[in-house]
């Protein structure tokens, strides 16, 4: 039986509230679970003490038994000091795509052409003013 520590959604429409539960992998998201080990209310400010509540002793027990937390729950556990979340590194995520690079190069080429045309026109006016 593979166990997960995950979020089960509750609350009204557009007013989410989550229970942090221990459930089997095959159980539905909001369905059957083994034990409730905390809550998460995303509507509260980030510094509010009741935004995330955890039963630390029960979470330690379930982790020792082999339950694996989901990524979001692992973030909460890392903030509470119960588990270590390895940092992720994806340097290509912030890079623009091929089309964006092509648009940027095209825009720079147009700007360079406009600047060259402006310089040529500016030199001609200076010569005309001198004569």
- Please tell me the predicted confidence (pLDDT) of residue 122: 59
- Please tell me the predicted confidence (pLDDT) of residue 118: 84
* 88 within some domain: no
Tokens 């556990």 found at: 77
DSSP string, 5-29: EEEEEEEETTEEEEEEEEEETTS-T
Based on the domain organization, do 7 and 70 belong to the same domain?
yes
Block means of pLDDT (10 residues each) for the chain, 131 residues, are 91 94 89 92 93 94 93 93 86 86 93 87 55 52
pTM of this structure:
0.66
- Please tell me the predicted confidence (pLDDT) of residue 129: 53
- Please tell me the predicted confidence (pLDDT) of residue 53: 94
Q: Decide if 10 contacts 33 (C-beta within 8 A).
A: no
Could you tell me the strand order of the sheet in which 68-69 lies? 52-54, 35-40, 15-24, 3-12, 68-69
Based on the domain organization, do 104 and 58 belong to the same domain?
no
CATH number at residue 60: 3.30.1320.10
Give dist(CA 19, CA 56) in Å, integer.
Answer: 14
- Please tell me the predicted confidence (pLDDT) of residue 28: 84
Based on the domain organization, do 71 and 18 belong to the same domain?
yes
Based on the domain organization, do 23 and 55 belong to the same domain?
yes
- Please tell me the predicted confidence (pLDDT) of residue 1: 72
Burial of 24 (0-12, 13-18, 19+ CB in 10 A): middle
* 87 within some domain: no
Based on the domain organization, do 29 and 60 belong to the same domain?
yes
Burial of 59 (0-12, 13-18, 19+ CB in 10 A): buried
Task: Find the domain containing 63 and state its range.
Answer: 3-80
* 85 within some domain: no
Split into its structural domains, the chain has a count of 2
- Please tell me the predicted confidence (pLDDT) of residue 18: 95
- Please tell me the predicted confidence (pLDDT) of residue 45: 94
Based on the domain organization, do 63 and 125 belong to the same domain?
no
């Amino acid at each position: 039986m593979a166990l997960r520590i995950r979020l089960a959604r509750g609350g009204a429409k557009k007013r989410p509230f989550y229970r942090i539960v221990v459930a089997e992998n095959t159980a539905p998201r909001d369905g059957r679970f083994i034990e409730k080990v905390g809550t998460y209310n995303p509507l509260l400010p980030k510094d509010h003490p009741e935004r995330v509540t955890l039963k630390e002793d029960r979470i330690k027990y379930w982790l020792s038994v082999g339950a694996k937390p989901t990524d979001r729950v692992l973030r909460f556990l890392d903030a509470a000091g119960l588990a270590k979340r390895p940092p992720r590194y994806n340097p290509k995520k912030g890079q623009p795509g091929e089309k964006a690079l092509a648009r940027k190069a095209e825009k720079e080429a147009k700007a360079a052409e406009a600047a060259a045309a402006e310089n040529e026109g500016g030199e001609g006016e200076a010569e005309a003013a001198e004569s």
